[in-house]
Structure 1
Amino acid sequence: MQHKYLPEVYVRFLERFPDVAEAHGELARIVRERNSFDDRTDRLIKLAVAVGSEAEGAVRSNVRKALQHGATVEDVQAVALAAITTCGFPTAIAALGWIESVVLAPSDA
Structure 2
Amino acid sequence: MERKRKLDTYQRFKKQYPDYFGAVEALGTAVRHAGPLDEQVIQLVQLGAAAAIRSEGAVHSHVRRALEAGATPEQIHHSLLSLTSTIGFPTVVAALSWADDVIGRAEPNT
TM-score bin, normalised by smaller chain: 0.7 to 0.9
Match of 2:30 in 1: 30
- The one-letter amino acid paired with 1:46 is Q
Q: Offset at 1:31?
A: 1.4
- The one-letter amino acid paired with 2:23 is A
Match of 2:92 in 1: 92
DSSP 3-state at the match of 1:35? coil
Q: Offset at 1:57?
A: 0.9
> TM-score of the superposition, structure 2-length normalised?
0.86
Deviations 1:11-68 (A, max 9, x none): 1121111111101011111111112101111111111111111111111000000000
DSSP 3-state at the match of 2:105? coil
Match of 2:70 in 1: 70
Match of 1:39 in 2: 39
- The one-letter amino acid paired with 1:15 is K
Change (3 A) 1:69 1:18: same
Gaps of 5+ in 1: none
Match of 2:101 in 1: 101
Change (3 A) 1:106 1:69: closer
Which structure 1 residue ranges, 4+ long, deviate > 3 Å from structure 2?
none
Q: How far apart, CA to CA, are the structure 1 residues paired with 2:39 and 2:79?
A: 16
Q: Offset at 1:105?
A: 2.1
Deviations 1:71-94 (A, max 9, x none): 000011112111211100110011
Match of 1:19 in 2: 19
> TM-score of the superposition, structure 1-length normalised?
0.87
DSSP 3-state at the match of 1:8? helix
- The one-letter amino acid paired with 2:46 is K
CA contact (8 A) 1:56 1:95 kept: yes
Q: Percent identity?
A: 37
Q: Offset at 1:106?
A: 6.3
